[in-house]
Amino acid sequence: MTIRGNYTSPANPSSPSGAHPFAFLPANALEPKTTRTKGLTEIRGLYYAPVTKTYLDELLKDWGEYVDGVKFAGGAFSLMPEDRLRALIDTAHAHGCYVSTGSFIERVLSTSGGSKAVISKYFTACKNMGFDVLEISSGFLSIPTDDWASLIEFTAAHGLKPKPEVGIQWGAGGDASVEELESAGTRDPKWLIDRAKAFIDAGAYMIMIESEGITENVKNWRTDVISAVTSALPAEKIMFEAADPDVFAYYIQNQGARANLFIDHSQIVQLACLRRGIWGTGSTFARVVTFEGAGEHLRKGGRAVHGEPAEKY
């Protein structure tokens, strides 16, 4: 299930119907934003670059149909007065995007000693401010799997969508050097997969796959980890961090146009062109395709329907 605010597709001034003027040109068939459950795009908001209400509003007015969620990073929202924070969240909702806290729970856990009262107060404040998704990461922390699963259930009990972040790299999330992360070591992919399955069972809305140790701050990409994850976990329940064009191009090339991806807000157009198959690099140009019948396939529960005329499919 995806989370939506009130959303109206941006109208084209030269077209009363709001249709795209180049719709007659062939492009990949993707689900409309209002019903999209695969091929989700979550963007990073303010952190590495300031993102103001005016900027976010203009960005989503033009490109909001290609954006499903907006994520705060690095606890940046905790620096903002209520009126400015609420204005950003309301702007994202007005364009039909869900809003995620990012991984600030690590700071809350580390400073509170895991106090249930403090964490409940944090969750309640997030809910009251209008956040939809609460990311639950532990790149810097050691936390038992059962405690992590309990946090997922506790998040849902506060009316927020729990989105645990899992990865193979210890110390992920702090822009550490390749050498520093290598010395910290990585976990076995099975560790990631086992926890992701436990978190889905606990009610996780989505699993965010941490990029560090896999495609970020590594000398060689761990494509074996990516293959293990996509083979073991449902596609609609996993989202990959891919805030680099080469990385999201790899995911689209290997998983198709409907991969769920987290990118920087500056990369919306490039990813949208790639999903629609209208542009790409030398390795992806004119090679990313979809099939229009996939919508019926998904609506029928992913099962073939025998004996029906082809035109009914």
At 97-145, the pLDDT tens digits run 999 999 999 999 999 999 999 999 999 999 999 999 999 998 788 899 9
β-bridge partners, 70: 43, 99
- Mean pLDDT calculated for residue range 250-257: 96
| Residue 282 token pair | 């030398």
Written as six digits, the tokens of 46 are 């303010």
Predicted TM-score (pTM) of the model is 0.88
Q: Residue 177: what pLDDT?
A: 58
Both tokens assigned to 71: 């994520």
Lowest mean pLDDT among 65-74, 82-91, 166-175, 243-252: 166-175
Do residues 265 and 41 lie in contact, with contact meaning Cβ atoms separated by under 8 Å?
no
Span between the terminal Cα atoms of the chain, in Å: 24
Q: Note the pLDDT tens digit of each residue in 201-237.
A: 999 999 999 999 999 988 899 999 999 999 999 999 9
Going along the chain from its start, the domains and CATH numbers come out as 33-276 (3.20.20.70)
